[in-house]
Amino acid sequence: MTLWLLRAVVTLFLLAVLAQPVLAGLYLSGEFDALAVHGAIAGVVILLAMVLVGAALLFLTIGRGRFWPLPVAVAAFLAAGFQTGFGYARQLGLHIPLGVVIVTTAVLLAVAVWRPAMRRPRRPLWGAR
């Protein structure tokens, strides 16, 4: 159940993240209203990243899942916050490359959590193996 929650949140996060470059491109093409939507979706991305941290934590603890999604989710949350700050500060030299990193991370995270291997429970850190 926690894996399905993680997969759902990661998928929503990916969709919101993928909308951002499209909206930025629309703005650069002359659709000036797209910038307001781009800013609004930034808030959604941060919110979904926060929910992603919770879903990864539940997957780790209750679902006995892998550890690595939790630090990736925390990094995504921090990156989304910095990304939004850089955007509002018009620091495009930082905003655009960080956006590429966030999109790449979201795609790789989605691919990883939808693989069948994520269903396998983690091995215990100590004791019988």
Under the banding of pLDDT at 50, 70 and 90, the label for residue 128 is low
- Supply the mean pLDDT for the chain: 93
Give yes or no for a contact between 33 and 61, defined as CB atoms under 8 angstroms apart. Answer: no
Tokens of 26: 């629309």
The predicted pLDDT at position 125 comes to 58
User: At a CB cut-off of 8 Å and minimum separation 6, what does 51 contact?
Assistant: 9
The predicted pLDDT at position 118 comes to 84
Under the banding of pLDDT at 50, 70 and 90, the label for residue 129 is low
% of the chain exceeding 90 in pLDDT: 87
Q: Which helix (H) or strand (E) holds 37?
A: helix 34-61
Structure-model confidence comparison of residues 1 and 49, the more confident one: 49
Q: For residues 11 and 85, what is the distance between their CA atoms, to the nearest angstrom?
A: 24
- pTM (two decimals): 0.90
